Amino acid sequence: MHPITTMMLHIVILAATFTAAQCFQLNMTQFYEMPPLYDLDDYDRCLQELNGQASTYCFVRAEVQPDESVAAWRAIAEISQYDRHHFDHRQLYFGLCLRDCEASLAGLNKSELEALQAGLLSENAKVNVYLDLFSMEANNRQRHQRLTNACLNWRLQRRGFGVLAKSVVEYCDEAGQQVEDDAWNLTFYGILGTLLILACLGSLVDLHLKRGRHDKMLKERDHYKTPPKSTAQQVLLTFSVARNWYRLNQEPSGKIGRELRFLDCFKFFAMFMVIFAHTNWVIYESAISNPQDPERLLHTAAGTLLVSGSLITVTFFVISGLLLTINWLAVSRSLESKKDTWSFGQYAVLFVKFNIFRYIRLTVPYAFVLLMSGVYFENAGGPLWRHIFEREQLACRRNWWTNLLYINNFVRTDERCLLQGWYLAADTHSFVLSLVLLMLGHRFVRWSKQLYAGILGLFVVVPMVLTYARNYYPIFVPTPQTQKDSFIGDRQFTEFYTSSLMNFGTYFCGVLAALVYDQLALKQYKLRELKSFQLLWFTLIPVGILWLFSAHPIFQHYYVPPSAIWGALYAGLQRNIWGFGLGIFIVGMASKVGWIFRKFCCLPIFRILGRLTYGAFIVHLLVARIVLATVREPIYFGTGMMFAFIFFTVTVSYLCSFLLAIFLELPVSSFLKLMR
């Protein structure tokens, strides 16, 4: 049977199996006995009516208090116990216009008002993180605490829910508030202006040199490939817009570059899936009018696929390990031709150079986005603007240094700036350790195979041991409430998912894939002519899909926790098997296995999209937050709405990445080449 026929048969059987899977049935009668998660007054009317005189709008966090005699509480307790699939329906979010609250409570006597007081919400650690970030709102909390608590409890009682809730004011907005530019804002504007001036100067100098060239037979593209003789001009031309466009669009050079050009397609589609997941997360963080639908979705096979989608991140670890190793092999061989044996000092110098060049190349655009993330500007959204967007601004102003030191995946993890930056931290740690191992393998060639095999085995076992010893859940589950709380206080996310130790094995799979690819190239082994390998390669596609569903028995098992031993074994294998399989897949494609799949992945459009992936990665959450922070009332979570937000975020993220590449990322890369 032809490999592609076999693959399609596997996919059909797999689809039929999971289509037949039974779904969890949510009791909708019981569901509607609970109060809605969000109750938002009209933000614009509150602050604009009566010309905004004495108008205050407060965003309030509330937590329903237990009362077994009330049907609403029994429904909350029953539905919220499925915490891996459901929101915590005790946690409520109110947007209160204080003028309306005062009018609603005006007819109540003192004893009735006192009965509506359930107390201050002070013991919720996740809420307290927000309160600490919004410490400037302390006076508003003290001033409006009793009014807001009575108001929201009056609404809960009047609407027949019969429960009371403790509450705390997160922040308040008043009519006529203005934001003044501070040193942070002015620094950003100054750097932005400097980049625009340099781009203009570099482009004008480039145009002048182009028009003044004497060789009229020289093609336009050749002009942009040819550096000027003057060092000053070379530095200035790194900012030329036209020259950077040609750099962005240039074809890969060399045999290795041509054989690995399919990686640009991998990077783009992996980035699309990352933006897909992160946009859904920010939607969860905003206001949803139908939380029952995403909750029911998570009980299906599609829900398992969404949870297992976190394996997509492994793609970037594998590709990073692969590219590091290819660069190392190229540099080490060029130096070997000059000298047979290396001293410790030579290894040390090379280690420092690798890390410094990588740090500058990644950190300069990253730092610019960090700076932009902390810029204050007036509330362009509504009641959720500060909750979703300003919280990020405050965290960036406070903890930017953890990102620039790449320690943000284990330091101040409850106040993350650019949450996706955990990957850059873990990737940096993996880069450093892998480079050390490659140098050891180079120095002790005789023992290199044993060293690499031992390291791979070790970092398959380490996640198993840590999962068992620290009682982690076998898979990372981004629960609805965890996403709504922006992963604050989530031990599984911080210690299990984003840990460098838990991810290094997948990075090293990329290192091994590059070493295998290098040996195949040196020996000129025609892997594509081996039919057994072609069968293996095509089989990896349905097997990979099946592996995404391997978490189904664990994730959809509601009542009994998984076995500690079997759970630990799965935790060590889930990511590493995916990384190992992806390594084989990449080696096969580099050896020109893959037929139409490889041809598609090598399309020229992916050359640009793949190179814009890093910029899209560091900026996409900022775009998603700006879009969803403008929500003024709960939105309906449906397929059409979800994909509209996702495609908008993808499009704007890549446009922003294009500007970042032209004005900053490519100039930095070109400048580093001049320094070598």
For the segment 450-486, what is each residue's pLDDT rounded down to a tens digit?
999 999 999 999 999 999 999 999 999 999 999 999 9
Please provide residue 53's backbone torsions phi and psi, each rounded to the nearest 5 degrees. -70, 125
pLDDT of residue 21: 44
> In this model, does residue 432 exceed pLDDT 50?
yes
Q: How many CB atoms lie within 10 A of CB 449?
A: 11
> In this model, does residue 287 exceed pLDDT 70?
yes
- Rounded to 5, what percent of the chain is helix, strand, coil? 70, 5, 25
- Helix 344-373 to helix 666-675 angle, to the nearest 10 degrees? 160
> In this model, does residue 273 exceed pLDDT 50?
yes
Tokens coding 540: 């990896």
* Cα separation, 657 vs 663, whole angstroms: 10
pLDDT of residue 558: 73
Tokens coding 515: 């070493």
For the segment 556-573, what is each residue's pLDDT rounded down to a tens digit?
877 678 889 999 999 999
- Grade residue 20 by pLDDT with cuts at 50, 70 and 90: very low
pLDDT of residue 562: 84
- With a pLDDT cut of 70, the percent of the chain lying above it is 93
Average pLDDT over residues 229-240: 89
CA distances from 255 to 252, 604, 669 (A): 9, 17, 22
pLDDT of residue 560: 77
pLDDT of residue 293: 94
8 Å CB contact between 283 and 478: no
* Cα separation, 632 vs 594, whole angstroms: 48
Q: Quick one: which of 359, 358, 346 has its CA closest to 404?
A: 359
CA distances from 299 to 2, 250, 549 (A): 36, 46, 13
pLDDT of residue 528: 87
* Cα separation, 474 vs 562, whole angstroms: 8
Average pLDDT over residues 129-141: 96
For the segment 577-604, what is each residue's pLDDT rounded down to a tens digit?
999 999 999 999 999 998 899 999 999 9
* Cα separation, 173 vs 60, whole angstroms: 12
pLDDT of residue 104: 94
* Cα separation, 425 vs 283, whole angstroms: 25
For the segment 504-544, what is each residue's pLDDT rounded down to a tens digit?
999 999 999 999 999 999 988 888 889 999 999 999 999 99
What single-letter DSSP state applies at residue 665? I
CA distances from 314 to 158, 414, 501, 561 (A): 50, 23, 13, 26
